[in-house]
Structure 1
């Protein structure tokens, strides 16, 4: 099977929608006075994809000359079980709390799938001129699933708004108020003490 190993990476990188979403999750700058300008050599924005192709697992990296073969996938194996330790090994390179990368899975929109199934059932019902017991049960179920996807998407949008909101001005004002009321240093000392105790517990373990 012939394929272009860079095609998926190029498709993702050239998608303005994905690029905008990706960049919107960048952490807010705290106090930057000398911003580093990006150069053509910067490789921060690119995608690495993993795909099962002809019974083998391939890694497709847009910055490499060709695909990386990670070996065969047994017929009884789920390819996700094969790729999971490879992805975890890659993630473990970064320090705890590192957020300068995203892990994404490209899947079909469930709402679109349910809507397509519902449309097919409604068309089938019209052709038959009646609804069978199966159709009477399945149509409400699909409508309920579509409604659930709408609710879920609303929650996702709310969570995304919270994650992207810049809380730094609020934090700065709060710290100023605490400092004026002579409460900042006591809180700092308590936090430092808790961190030291937590560190000691980890060392004992």
Structure 2
């Protein structure tokens, strides 16, 4: 695998990934954290296009593949967009692309649509290189770099003292559930599924992977790439508005017409409230991402310098040391 090159590490956060997708030109798609794999939790997030699983990477010698794993690496599944991971720090964006570029109906935007068409006949290795060399994808990815003047020039590697986390994707493609892991040589086909049952098929696979690491690692993260709630709620509100207009024009013969109108108006009001919450959440995501990118070190440096000029720094340091001793 290539070194980190000029790709930065980015935080595994739904706000980061949602804005990253939007900045690539994708419309009507967002990312949310999955806190539970039960039916109710998953149903609340539908329609889900794919799942991204984050875990601490461990070598194959540390985590042998269980004999009961029915997934098979398939070099025949050329209809699946699968890219080998050729650079460490790009794996989060690569996991997202694995879902976006394998899901029909997502409005990719011009850049990703042209990228998908351009790389269609590429091998997995060439697809990985195409991602790492895409100026558009790299620029958007790096726009979420945390500002840090204290940079380690050594590339990240998996060792006892340096945790490295890895992203893989689960996505239904052409009637089969695939696990897309850029560290493997090919997509892993987990068998047939439908748009309705693929989440039930993915659930035991993710649970088994968690159990595999349970004795040594509890840090996992599961994210859903899904239709944006804003888009979903707005479409339903528009649909309700059309139904109400048809009722007013007498185009529908409905018993208990007044009760139907009241129910629709009530649903519309609830959707309006949910839309407001989504808009506030997206605004919060933007604010948080601005803070992630901002460099606070000059501010901290100047605060410390001003405290020193006013002879207040020594007392603050003494108080901090005293509090530390009391806590220990």
For 1:28 and 1:19, locate their aligned partners in 2 and report how far apart those are by CA, in whole Å: 15
Long gaps (5+) in structure 2: 1-75, 84-96, 102-111, 113-130, 156-163, 251-259
Residue 266 (structure 2) aligned to one of 120, 137, 162: 137
Q: Which residue of 1 is the match for residue 300 of structure 2? A: 171
Long gaps (5+) in structure 1: 38-43, 97-101, 201-205
- TM-score, scaled to structure 2: 0.41
Q: Which residue of 2 is the match for residue 160 of structure 1? A: 289
Number of matched residues?
Answer: 182
Matched, 1:79 2:180: no
Contact 2:147 2:292 in 1 (8 A): no
Could you report, residue by residue, the CA deviation over 1:162-184 in whole angstroms, capped at 9, with x for unpaired residues? 22221111011122223334444
Q: Which has the higher contact order (CA 8 A, sep 6+)?
A: 2
For 1:4 and 1:138, locate their aligned partners in 2 and report how far apart those are by CA, in whole Å: 39
Q: CA RMSD in A?
A: 4.7
- TM-score, scaled to structure 1: 0.61
- Residue correspondence of structure 1 range 113-152 to structure 2 within 5 A: 113-128=232-247, 129=249, 132-152=261-281
For 1:71 and 1:85, locate their aligned partners in 2 and report how far apart those are by CA, in whole Å: 16
Contact 2:230 2:278 in 1 (8 A): yes
Q: Which residue of 1 is the match for residue 82 of structure 2? A: 6
Residue 48 (structure 1) aligned to one of 168, 187, 193: 168
- Residue correspondence of structure 1 range 71-110 to structure 2 within 5 A: 77=200, 79-80=202-203, 82-83=205-206, 86=209, 89=213, 104-110=223-229
Structure-2 change in CA distance of 1:183 and 1:160 (3 Å): same
Tell me by how many angstroms 1:115 deviates.
0.7
Contact 2:146 2:292 in 1 (8 A): no
Structure with a larger share of its residues in strand? 2
Structure-2 change in CA distance of 1:157 and 1:185 (3 Å): same
Structure-2 change in CA distance of 1:136 and 1:170 (3 Å): same
Structure with a larger share of its residues in helix? 1
Tell me by how many angstroms 1:66 deviates.
0.7
